[in-house]
Chain A
Amino acid sequence: MHDDDELYRRALGGLAGPPIDPYAALRELEPRLNGAHRRRVVTMSASLAAVAAAVTLAVGVAVATRHQEPSVKVVAPASDGSAHIESSTPTVAGVVSSLTSATAAAPATTAERNPSVSSEAGVEETVEGADGGAASSAAGRGGEVGGGNGGPPASNGPAKGAPGTAGPGGGTGSAATPASTAPGGSDAPVPTNAPTTPAANVAPVRTVSSRGGTVSYRFNGSSITDVQLAPAPGWVGSFDRRESDRVEVVFRQDDHNATISLRVKDGRVEVSTDGES
């Protein structure tokens, strides 16, 4: 059996060919080993760079999201004159936009941004960018719209983009819809399920301010959309008329009324106020 093994060893060894110089083979292999090592290093470096970029982006988005305030919108009046409130948080597009552009923080005046808007004396009107900046100026975080008589005054006017917190519902019966109203005085962002508007191809938000409050809207050239009310502290806002080409908003406080009217005429929005007594 041992002889047999030796026979097979010799015969098959002859088929295996002549002896091999392993050192020469190693020298021949070294370029491949180094090349493979380099490729591996390059691949790992690229992977690390990708991970670092992803982490940076994630941190940036998180930071921007934390600083971006949710907005409260008064979008539709109820039959009893009360307003329905929807809240929204910034969209991803808005967050990315805020990361890459600093223009959102600086609203321009109407005359600079859109000369088609006319205004009358006593009306402060501004047009802001379409990336959500106006929404946050129209109403503050977690604020309620419409306060009753004698309610605690808000700390800041809504037109300035500060929290527009008014007092809890008072005697006018025009409190906002409870289901979508943020808890008064809470700093927590309002839970959102409101649809987000695309950042692109959206008309800029314009605001009209009066003593009784601020009206924000968009004008796409033919109709007025996205009308939002932000009553001043102690005032209650409601729609007297709401059509695509005509909107009338009345802010009330005790015996005082302030009306803002928006009317589309010849492709422009005519703004008028009255009853400022």
Chain B
Amino acid sequence: MADDALVEPADFDALFVQHFPGLVRALTVVCGDRETAADCVQEAFVRAHQRWARLASYDDPVGWVRHVAFNLARDARRRRVRGARAQLKLVSDERVRQDAAAEMADHSGSTLAAELANLSRRQRESLALRYVEGLSVAEVARALGISEGAAKFHLHQGRERLRPHIERLQGDR
């Protein structure tokens, strides 16, 4: 976020070029699907472009884009889960979560991804914003609309859940 100072707020293209990759990568970690993440971030930027006259005056226009993209990703995930539920009407939510985890593992080929899919949404979002997009804890809290303490809590919980897998990966290297 420190790089935001380099962005001319009125320049939509500059904002896009600077933040699109980070947003897509962070959202990929959150939703587990790179294509979905890219679609959501693109859609968010299209909406930002439509409202650019107003957004350009915002202190943090990319925060608006991120918020919209994350919401779109949540909607996409809900649709996916709803579709899975429609197909497996008698299967519990746990089964759906396991399926999503397996799907994510298929995409990334790692158990870390599977464990990430089993985290709560807040934990995934906190970790993605902190370690993929590179936001500070305060910025994570602001982006998610929660307190800094809550952000720290989610980050801690998420880290502890992933720690065994991270350490295993480290040992493998």
B151 at the interface (CB under 8 A from A): no
Chain A residues touching B, majority SS: helix
Quick one: which of B20, B45, B46, B127 contacts A12, CB cutoff 8 A? Answer: B127
Question: Contact: B128 with A12, CB < 8 Å?
Answer: yes
Interface residues of B in 1-49 (CB under 8 A from A): 13, 16-18, 20-21, 24-26, 28-29, 34, 38, 42, 45-46, 49
Q: How far is the CA of A145 from the CA of B85 in the complex (A)?
A: 81
**Complex: chain A residue closest to B169, CB-CB:** A11
Interface residues of A in 110-151 (CB under 8 A from B): none
Question: Contact: A11 with B21, CB < 8 Å?
Answer: no
B102 at the interface (CB under 8 A from A): no
Quick one: which of B24, B110, B131 contacts A20, CB cutoff 8 A? Answer: B24
Question: Contact: A40 with B50, CB < 8 Å?
Answer: yes
Question: Contact: A16 with B46, CB < 8 Å?
Answer: no
Quick one: which of B110, B130, B159 contacts A15, CB cutoff 8 A? Answer: B110
Interface residues of A in 23-38 (CB under 8 A from B): 23, 25-26, 28-29, 32-33, 36-37
Question: Contact: A16 with B29, CB < 8 Å?
Answer: yes
Quick one: which of A13, A26, A37 contacts B25, CB cutoff 8 A? Answer: A13
B62 at the interface (CB under 8 A from A): no
Which A residues are in CB contact (< 8 Å) with B170? 7
Q: A8-B162, A15-B116, A20-B25 are in contact. Are A32 and B46 (CB under 8 A)?
A: yes
Question: Contact: A13 with B16, CB < 8 Å?
Answer: no
- Max chain B Cβ within 10 angstroms of own Cβ: one of A16, A23, A32, A33: A16
Which A residues are in CB contact (< 8 Å) with B49? 33, 36-37
Q: How far is the CA of A236 from the CA of B37 in the complex (A)?
A: 89
Question: Contact: A16 with B112, CB < 8 Å?
Answer: no
Question: Contact: B127 with A26, CB < 8 Å?
Answer: no
Chain B residues touching A, majority SS: helix
Q: How far is the CA of A36 from the CA of B52 in the complex (A)?
A: 12
Question: Contact: B21 with A20, CB < 8 Å?
Answer: yes
A9 at the interface (CB under 8 A from B): yes
Which A residues are in CB contact (< 8 Å) with B166? 7-8, 11
A17 at the interface (CB under 8 A from B): yes
B120 at the interface (CB under 8 A from A): no
Chain B: minimal CB distance from A224 (Å): 66
B113 at the interface (CB under 8 A from A): yes
Q: How far is the CA of A7 from the CA of B169 in the complex (A)?
A: 10
Which A residues are in CB contact (< 8 Å) with B26? 16
Interface residues of B in 67-91 (CB under 8 A from A): none
Chain A: minimal CB distance from B31 (Å): 11
B55 at the interface (CB under 8 A from A): no
Which A residues are in CB contact (< 8 Å) with B128? 12, 16
Interface residues of B in 122-142 (CB under 8 A from A): 127-128, 130-132, 134
A275 at the interface (CB under 8 A from B): no
Which B residues are in CB contact (< 8 Å) with A26? 13, 16-17, 20
Q: A8-B127, A26-B13, A33-B46 are in contact. Are A13 and B28 (CB under 8 A)?
A: no
Question: Contact: B131 with A17, CB < 8 Å?
Answer: no
Q: How far is the CA of A247 from the CA of B46 in the complex (A)?
A: 76
A5 at the interface (CB under 8 A from B): yes
B108 at the interface (CB under 8 A from A): yes
Question: Contact: B131 with A29, CB < 8 Å?
Answer: no
Question: Contact: A25 with B116, CB < 8 Å?
Answer: no
Q: List 6 A-B contacts (CB under 8 A).
A: A15-B110, A16-B25, A16-B132, A19-B21, A25-B38, A33-B49
Chain A to chain B: the 9 pairs with minimum beta-carbon distance, closest first: A16-B25, A20-B21, A22-B17, A8-B131, A12-B131, A9-B131, A22-B20, A16-B28, A17-B34
